[in-house]
Structure 1
Amino acid sequence: MTIFTKIINRELPGYILEENQHCIAFLDIQPIKWGHTLVVPKKEIDYLFDLEETDYLELQKFAKQVSQRLREIVSCQRIGVAVVGLEVPHTHIHLVPIDKVSDINFSNPKLSFSEEDYQRLVTNYQKGHR
């Protein structure tokens, strides 16, 4: 069982922004930018392209929805998208608010935010405002 499945099952805490029957979006706790979000299918499949077609399309649709809302509450030019897939053996899409290409460089130092900062972002996301 992966750490993401434990978050999905509420066995571990997570800063959950949104979820539906098939997918969940939560804040990365080792972000490279403020608002760095992970979008994860609820089915524990290691590799993105091993997802069934319907699950793959559902994940992409959900990621688009989350990215649009995230862009409304986090100041940035765009939401960058990355699928690396080596850190946790559970498919996930990184949504990273960016203003320049180097903002989505995963070798950048990880940022640290307080519990209050994360909670504020979750609240603002769910209310739909900065």
Structure 2
Amino acid sequence: MSIFTKIINGEIPCYKICEDKDFIAFLDINPNAKGHTLCVPKEEISYIFDMDDAQYLKLMQFSKRVALALQQVVPCKRIGVAVVGLEVPHTHVHLIPISEMSEMTFQQKVQMTDEEFKELAAKVHQAFIALPSAN
């Protein structure tokens, strides 16, 4: 069982932004940048390209909505997207607010307090629920 499955099952706490029946989004606790978010399917699938086409497209649609919400809350030029797949054997999409390419290297990290994480998760959640529903 992956650490993400434990988060999904409520065994490990997270700074949740949103979830639906298939996916969950939460702040990365070791972020590259303020707002670094993980979008994770609730079904534990190790490798993104093992997902069937429908699951993959739904994950990308969910991630897009989360990215649009992040962009409203965290000042940045873009929301960078990365799928690495080596660090946790459970498919996940990294959404990282960036203003420079170096912020996507996974070498730089930012420190945030528990209160900062909670406040940011709440703000992005509010922006997410204010977005029009995906079609």
Counterparts of residues 9-88 of structure 1 (less than 5 Å): 9-88=9-88
The ranges of structure 1 where at least 4 consecutive aligned residues each deviate by more than 6 angstroms after the TM superposition are none
Return 5+ residue gaps in structure 2 as ranges: 129-135
3-state DSSP of counterpart to 2:124: helix
TM-score (norm 2): 0.92
Tell me if the contact between 2:69 and 2:125 (Cα under 8 Å) persists in the aligned partners: no
Tell me if the contact between 2:41 and 2:92 (Cα under 8 Å) persists in the aligned partners: yes
3-state DSSP of counterpart to 1:62: helix
Return 5+ residue gaps in structure 1 as ranges: none
Q: Distance in 1 between matches of 2:37 and 2:121?
A: 11
3-state DSSP of counterpart to 1:80: strand
Tell me if the contact between 2:48 and 2:92 (Cα under 8 Å) persists in the aligned partners: yes
Task: String of CA shifts for 1:35-82, please: whole Å, max 9, x gaps.
Answer: 000000111000000011111111000000000001000010110000
Tell me if the contact between 2:41 and 2:91 (Cα under 8 Å) persists in the aligned partners: yes
2:123 maps to which residue? 124
1:123 deviates by 1.4
1:99 deviates by 0.4
**Structure 2 letter corresponding to 1:127:** Q
Percent of matched pairs sharing the same residue: 50
* CA-atom RMSD in angstroms: 1.1
**Structure 1 letter corresponding to 2:110:** L
1:128 deviates by 2.4
3-state DSSP of counterpart to 1:39: strand
TM-score (norm 1): 0.95
Equivalent pairs counted in the alignment come to 128
Q: Distance in 2 between matches of 1:46 and 1:34?
A: 26
Q: Distance in 1 between matches of 2:53 and 2:90?
A: 16
